[in-house]
Amino acid sequence: MKEIDNVEYFDINNISEMFHKKISAEEIRGYFEEGKIKGKIIENEWYTNQNAIDDFKNLLVDERAIFVGPYKIDLSNIELKGRILDIGGGGEGVIGQFKGEQVVAIDPNRSELEEAKSTKDLKIVMDAKDLQFLDNTFDTVTAFFTMMYIQIADHKKVFEEIYRVLKKDGEFVLWDLTIPNRGNIKKDIYGVRLNVKINDKIIESGYGILWNKEQDMDHHSDLAKDIGFKILKKEEEKDTFYLRFRKS
Ligand SMILES: C[S@@+](CC[C@H](N)C(=O)[O-])C[C@H]1O[C@@H](n2cnc3c(N)ncnc32)[C@H](O)[C@@H]1O
């Protein structure tokens, strides 16, 4: 990153990082060369500013993405008790915004935590596959549109870790997106737009992933059952689902 005349300029690697490296440095270079990212060459390297990156994100959505929604999710009457571990609590940090100091938010991407809009939660850089908490630590674990970001092959390990750190009778509450099979569809990003209601506040958010997986509610509830969770709630609405499990 460079600062010129009080404007921050980002290089190819910075931009690739912004997309969690799901778009490689080489692809970003290609977008610069095609003029799809408006930038300039400084000392033989491509650079651009935040406005041009925002324009590029819109172009990416038009060219490569299918977004469903916007769907409304009302959290106002959702009960989350005691000490809460929020898995993948970066992004908007919705659960942190909802439950504040009750929440420990973990995410392996430091920048996601730094950018999260929640302010009162405790944010820790950590991977859900390898939680650094003792057994039986939390009353509640949440995952708000996070499982869609985790490879299917890692879901079991993440669920086992969640089970381990939950106290007996603790609850795992999860919201996520049904992702259909991509088939022959050319577009390779799939996502959802949400309006999340917390009492009087509406949080507008959008979550998208590279469309190289499919998942649904039964995949998550079957996994939870296999690990020993009791299923308390299973609700599907449009393309999203809400699940609630108890460690018995
Ligand atoms: C975009 S957020 C989802 C929405 C977020 N919970 C919110 O409230 O806005 C998903 C997060 O999952 C994180 N993530 C990906 N793999 C993870 C893992 N193995 N453990 C924990 N979080 C992970 C990503 O870094 C990303 O920040």
State mean pLDDT over 206-227: 96
Q: How far is the CA of 44 from the centre of ligand 1 (A)?
A: 35
Comparing CA positions, the residue from 32, 55, 37, 40 lying closest to residue 5 is 40
Give the Cβ contact number of residue 118 at 10 Å. 22
Q: How far is the CA of 17 from the centre of ligand 1 (A)?
A: 15
Structural domain containing residue 44: 2-48
At residue 20, the pLDDT reads: 80
Q: What is the DSSP string of 89-138?
A: --TT-HHHHHHGGGEEEEES-HHHHHH-S--SSEEEE--GGG--S-SS-E
Burial classification of residue 19, based on how many CB atoms lie within 10 Å of its CB (0-12 exposed, 13-18 middle, 19 or more buried): middle
Q: Is residue 150 part of a domain?
A: yes
Whichever domain contains 168, its CATH number is 3.40.50.150
Among protein residues, the one whose CA lies closest to atom 9 of ligand 1: 92
Tell me the pLDDT band of 2, cut-offs 50, 70 and 90. Answer: confident
Q: Is residue 27 part of a domain?
A: yes
At residue 219, the pLDDT reads: 98
Task: Could you list the beta-strand ranges (E) of 163-228.
Answer: 166-177, 189-198, 201-210
Q: Are strands 84-87 and 138-144 parallel, antiparallel or unpaired?
A: parallel
Q: Are strands 84-87 and 65-74 parallel, antiparallel or unpaired?
A: unpaired
Same domain, 222 and 141: yes
Tell me the pLDDT band of 18, cut-offs 50, 70 and 90. Answer: confident
At residue 34, the pLDDT reads: 94
Same domain, 74 and 136: yes
State mean pLDDT over 50-67: 93
Comparing CA positions, the residue from 74, 73, 75, 110 lying closest to residue 90 is 110
Same domain, 169 and 86: yes
Residue 81 pLDDT > 90, yes or no?
yes
State mean pLDDT over 164-179: 98
At residue 210, the pLDDT reads: 93
Q: Residues 120-134: pLDDT tens digits?
A: 999 999 999 999 999
Q: How far is the CA of 10 from the centre of ligand 1 (A)?
A: 23
Among protein residues, the one whose CA lies closest to atom 25 of ligand 1: 109
Residue 190 pLDDT > 90, yes or no?
yes
Of the two residues 138 and 43, the one the predictor is more confident about is 138
State mean pLDDT over 23-30: 94
Average per-residue pLDDT for the chain: 96
Q: Is residue 61 part of a domain?
A: no
Same domain, 41 and 130: no
At residue 5, the pLDDT reads: 85
State mean pLDDT over 90-104: 96
Phi, psi of 170 (to 5 degrees): -70, 160
At residue 61, the pLDDT reads: 87
Please give the model's pTM, rounded to 2 decimal places. 0.90
Can you tell me the distance from the alpha carbon of 49 to that of 7, in angstroms, rounded to the nearest whole number? 7
At residue 88, the pLDDT reads: 98
